[in-house]
Amino acid sequence: MKAVNNYVIVDKIKNEPTKIAGLIMTEETDTDSRYLRGTVISAGDLVKGIDEGMIVNYDKHAGHGITVVDKLYYVIKIGDIVIVE
C-alpha cells in the first residue's frame, strides 16, 4: 500500500481511557481533544519531512478510513498534520 501525491496513510494510535474527576473519558467522550495520534504507514511522493514509522498528530475530522486486509487505516492530507514527534 503506497500513498500518492499529498496524502499520508496513518495507523491510528488508540488512547487509553483517562479518569477526570471520577469520570472515565474515552476517545468517544473526550470532546476537548481536537487531534489524534498515528503512525505513518506511507507518505506520498509530494510529502516532504515525513517518513514511514514517524508518529504524527492530525486533526480528528481529517481524511477517511480505508480497510486493507481487515485492518483500518486513515488517509489524510499533509495539511491536516500539525505535529511530527
pLDDT in tens, 44-81: 999 999 999 999 999 988 999 999 999 999 999 999 99
Q: Is residue 1 part of a domain?
A: no
Residue pair 7/76 in contact by the 8 Å Cβ criterion: yes
Share of the chain above pLDDT 70, in %: 80
The CATH number given to whatever domain includes residue 66 is 2.30.33.40
Q: How much is the pTM?
A: 0.80
Q: Is residue 2 part of a domain?
A: no
pLDDT of 22 > 80? The answer is no
Range of the domain at 47: 7-84
Q: Is residue 65 part of a domain?
A: yes
56 φ/ψ angles, rounded to the nearest 5 degrees: -130, 155
Q: Report how far apart, in Å, the C-alpha atoms of 4 and of each of 7, 8, 45, 67 are.
A: 6, 8, 6, 17
Q: Report how far apart, in Å, the C-alpha atoms of 70 and of each of 5, 11, 18, 57, 66 are.
A: 25, 13, 28, 24, 10
Cell of 74: 486513515
Q: Is residue 42 part of a domain?
A: yes
Q: How many domains does the chain have?
A: 1
